[in-house]
Chains A and B, each alone.
Chain A
Amino acid sequence: MQVSAYLIVSALLFTIGAVGVLVRRNPLVMFMSIELMLNAVNLSFMAFAHFLNSVDGWMFVFLVLTVAAAEVVVGLAIIVSIFRSRHEIDVDDLTMLKG
Chain B
Amino acid sequence: MAAGVIAFFVLATVSVASALGVVLFRNPVYSMLSLILNLLSLAFFFLMLEAIFVAAIQVLIYAGAVMVLFLFVVTMLTPSGGGISGPDRLRWQWGAGIGLGIILAGGLIIALLNGSIAEGAKAAGMNGLAQAVDHFGNTEAFGQALFHGFSFPFELTGVLLVVAVLGAVVMSRRFARE
Contacts and interface: CB of A to CB of B under 8 A. Distances in A.
Q: Do A and B bind each other?
A: yes
Interface of A: 1, 3-9, 11-20, 22-26, 28-29, 31-33, 35-36, 39, 42-43, 46-47, 49-56, 58-59, 61-63, 65-74, 76-81, 83, 88-90, 92
A15 B70 contact: no
Q: Could you tell me the dominant secondary structure of chain A's interface residues? A: helix
A28 B31 CA distance: 9
Nearest to B157: A66
A12 B105 contact: yes
A15 B110 CA distance: 14
Nearest to B77: A83
B55 to A, nearest CB: 9
B23 A33 contact: yes
B28 A1 contact: no
Contacts of A79: 73, 77
A61 B61 CA distance: 12
Interface string B146-172: 100110010001001101110110011
B104 A28 contact: no
